[in-house]
């Protein structure tokens, strides 16, 4: 294959009477033509580095891409820029296959005032570039695991770059690219991506965003064993192929069986959760939560609310805890059972490795894949923030975290809640969150916290003093509730 590329590059050099170099779309050198010239400007720093190190810097790549070469379908002339290390102008021939750029052929342009290549010669050179494009595409398809194409879709900037990345993945997947898919995020992930995953069209490791270390939580959920660094660590992205929406459960089960053959802590390991119950690390409790979440049902427990008045809330009679779970969508018994098994698999791994998984709603085709990945990441973050949602959380079942995970891409630092969220006031923050989770019903909140109602009133008054908020006001309640929930998000 290397010889084929060299022959084609030499053919272009002969057609245009100038030494040519071939780079892939990542600006890594593949082949270059012989250079025989006394012109010192021909071997400028950019060209010299490309040949000697077989790659270009990110800055050089960004500079050249600024001329639209990734979208061009014909030759692109790029002027000299001595400040950028480009002493001689370039002619770039985009190498494409089925509309997708595979690489670039670079030639030195003539000096200003001298005629450049004839249009007929350029057209002939573009025909050779098309043959190079076929070879590059076939080589990529033969040896690719699609991790590069998949990662490019998940990390590309919005706009034309993302559109090109999606188009490249669609070409690589072939006819299957137009089918039904589901994005899954597992975090934190260490090591390389597995060579293959049952039912997966593509797998890749998405680099972390950087930031604090896991376990450094300061919000009301700090006792849950997960910290802000959880979602900042690298994550494993899995693109599952589905025959139908009901096939999500079986596909997820098979994938988890491959991905999570890890030894967990003994069943029954517990820790203090944010609401005083078993922590998300207890495998039995986590399995139950995962089964409910991944089967499309919201977990049991009170729904969050931030309305009502203080007088009625604090004088209302206690309401038995535990609102019944409501199904977010009907699923077959077989699918629910399969998803339950997948939840158990992640629960087992989560017990020993603090791992969570987020599952996006299935999408048809690849155009919505970037948005689906955001759903999967949000669901994985929600499973960390609220252990009862995980360790496998489906985006459609994470409730307010669908919005909060989008709004709180970075740690929330609202002035009103800042003091309340310090370690010194952790118990007050927990009290306020449980009170708001219980729709402001004092009796129910006191029962959930295991305290006397008068103790609850005292704590809520302290919360108002620290935050400057009036829990009589619906908007103040909403602000505090959002800040408390968002502080859990990794």
Query: ω into residue 391 within 30 of 0, thus cis?
Result: yes
Strand partners, 95: 103
Contact 54, 85 (CB under 8 A): no
Determine the Cα–Cα distance for residues 241 and 176; give it in Å rounded to an integer: 8
| % residues pLDDT > 70 (the chain) | 67
Q: Under DSSP, is residue 102 helix (H, G, I), strand (E, B) or coil?
A: strand
Whole-prediction pTM value? 0.53
Residue 349 has pLDDT above 90, yes or no: no
| CATH code where residue 124 lies | 3.30.450.40
Among 403, 420, 440, the domain boundary falls at: 403
Supply the range of the domain harboring residue 270.
180-296+331-403
Alpha-carbon distance of 46 to 112, in angstroms, equals 19
Name every residue whose Cβ is closer than 8 Å to that of residue 330 and which is 6 or more positions away in sequence: none
pLDDT bracket for residue 120 (50, 70, 90): very high
Cα 242 vs. chain centroid, distance in angstroms?
Answer: 20
Q: Are 293 and 392 in contact (CB under 8 A)?
A: yes
3-state class of 105 per DSSP?
Answer: strand
- pLDDT reported for residue 45: 61
- Is residue 315 domain-shared with residue 356, that is, in the same domain? no
Q: Of the given ranges (6-10, 47-51, 101-105, 362-366), which has the lowest mean pLDDT?
A: 47-51
Q: Are residues 288 and 312 in the same domain?
A: no
Q: Look at residue 485 and tell me if it is in a domain.
A: yes
Omega cis (within 30) before 188 = yes
Query: Does a structural domain hold residue 151?
Result: no
- The reply to whether 284 and 425 lie within a common domain is no
- 66/115 same-domain check: yes
CA distance 74 to 96: 10
- Look over the chain and give the mean of its residue pLDDT values, rounded to a whole number: 73
Q: Say what the pLDDT of residue 74 is.
A: 94
Does residue 94 form part of some domain? Answer: yes
What's the CA gap between 189 and 353, in Å, rounded? 10
Q: How far from the centroid of its chain's Cα atoms is residue 98's Cα?
A: 28
Confidence of residue 44 (pLDDT cuts 50, 70, 90): low
Q: Where are the beta strands (DSSP E) in 324-483?
A: 356-359, 363-364, 392-394
Judge if 336 and 424 occupy the same domain.
no
Confidence band of 3 (pLDDT split at 50, 70, 90) = low
Beta-bridge partner residues of 32:
21
Q: Do 31 and 128 meet the contact criterion of CB atoms below 8 Å apart?
A: no
Cα angle for residues 468, 472, 473 (degrees, 5° grid): 75
* pLDDT band of 151, cuts 50, 70, 90: very high
Instruction: Give 383-410 pLDDT, tens digit per residue.
Output: 888 888 878 899 999 888 888 877 755 6
**pLDDT category, 304, cuts 50, 70, 90?**
very low
How many domains, the chain?
A: 3
- Number of neighbouring beta carbons within 10 Å of residue 478: 14
Tokens describing residue 123 = 């057209």
Are residues 478 and 437 located together in one domain of the fold? Answer: yes
For the ranges 52-56, 255-259, 280-284, the maximum mean pLDDT occurs at 255-259
Closest among 105, 98, 99 to 15, alpha carbons compared? 105
Q: pLDDT-based confidence at 55, cuts 50/70/90?
A: low
Distance, in Å, from the CA atom of 435 to the CA atom of 476, rounded to the nearest integer, reads: 14
Residue 265 has pLDDT above 60, yes or no: no
Measured CA to CA, the distance from residue 434 to residue 447 in angstroms comes to: 10
Residues 252, 278: one domain? yes
**Residue 190 pLDDT > 60, yes or no?**
yes
| Same structural domain, 382 and 432 | no
Q: Tell me: do 338 and 459 sit in the same domain.
A: no
Helix/strand/coil (H, E, C) string of 195-250?
CCCCCEEEEEEECCCCCCCCCCCCCCCHHHCCCCCCCCCCEEEEEEEECCHHHHHH
Say yes or no to pLDDT of 99 above 80. yes
Angle (deg, nearest 10), helices 283-294 and 333-353:
140
């Amino acid at each position: 294959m290397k010889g084929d590329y060299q022959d084609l590059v030499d053919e272009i050099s002969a057609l245009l009477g100038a030494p040519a170099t071939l780079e892939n779309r990542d600006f890594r050198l593949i082949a270059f033509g012989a250079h025989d010239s006394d012109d010192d400007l021909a071997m400028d720093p950019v060209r010299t580095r490309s040949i000697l190190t077989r790659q270009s810097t990110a800055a050089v790549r960004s500079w050249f891409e600024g001329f639209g070469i990734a979208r061009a379908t014909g030759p692109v002339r790029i002027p000299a820029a001595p400040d950028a290390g480009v002493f001689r102008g370039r002619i770039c021939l985009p190498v494409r296959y089925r509309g997708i750029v595979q690489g670039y052929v670079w030639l030195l342009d003539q000096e200003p005032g001298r005629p450049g290549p004839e249009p007929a010669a350029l057209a002939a050179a573009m025909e050779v570039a098309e043959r190079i494009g076929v070879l590059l595409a076939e080589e990529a398809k033969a040896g690719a695991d699609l991790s590069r194409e998949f990662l490019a879709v998940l990390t590309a900037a919005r706009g034309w770059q993302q559109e090109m990345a999606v188009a490249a993945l669609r070409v690589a997947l072939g006819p299957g690219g137009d089918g039904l898919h589901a994005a899954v995020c597992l975090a934190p992930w260490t090591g390389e991506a597995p060579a293959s995953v049952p039912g997966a069209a593509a797998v890749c490791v998405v680099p972390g965003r950087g930031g604090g270390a896991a376990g450094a939580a300061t919000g009301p959920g700090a006792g849950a064993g997960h910290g802000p660094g959880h979602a900042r660590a690298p994550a494993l992205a899995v693109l599952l192929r589905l025959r139908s929406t009901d096939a999500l459960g079986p596909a997820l089960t098979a994938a988890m069986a491959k991905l999570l053959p890890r030894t967990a802590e003994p069943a029954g390991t517990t820790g203090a959760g944010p609401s005083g119950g078993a922590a998300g690390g207890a495998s039995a409790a986590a399995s139950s939560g995962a089964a409910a979440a991944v089967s499309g049902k919201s977990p049991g427990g009170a729904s969050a609310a931030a309305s009502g008045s203080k007088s009625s809330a604090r004088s209302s009679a206690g309401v038995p805890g535990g609102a019944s779970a409501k199904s977010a969508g009907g699923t077959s018994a077989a699918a629910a059972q399969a998803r339950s098994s997948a939840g158990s698999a992640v629960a087992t791994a989560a017990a020993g490795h603090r791992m969570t998984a987020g599952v996006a709603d299935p999408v048809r085709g690849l155009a919505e894949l970037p948005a689906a990945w955001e759903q999967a990441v949000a669901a994985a973050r929600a499973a960390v923030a609220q252990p009862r949602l995980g360790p496998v959380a489906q985006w459609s079942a994470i409730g307010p975290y669908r919005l909060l995970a989008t709004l709180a891409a970075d740690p929330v630092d609202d002035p009103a809640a800042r003091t309340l969220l310090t370690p010194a006031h952790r118990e007050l923050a927990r009290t306020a969150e449980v009170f708001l989770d219980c729709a402001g019903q004092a009796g129910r909140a006191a029962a959930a916290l295991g305290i006397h109602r008068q103790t609850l009133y005292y704590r809520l008054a302290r919360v108002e003093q620290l935050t400057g908020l009036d829990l009589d006001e619906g908007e103040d309640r909403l602000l505090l509730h959002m800040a408390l929930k968002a502080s859990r998000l990794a």
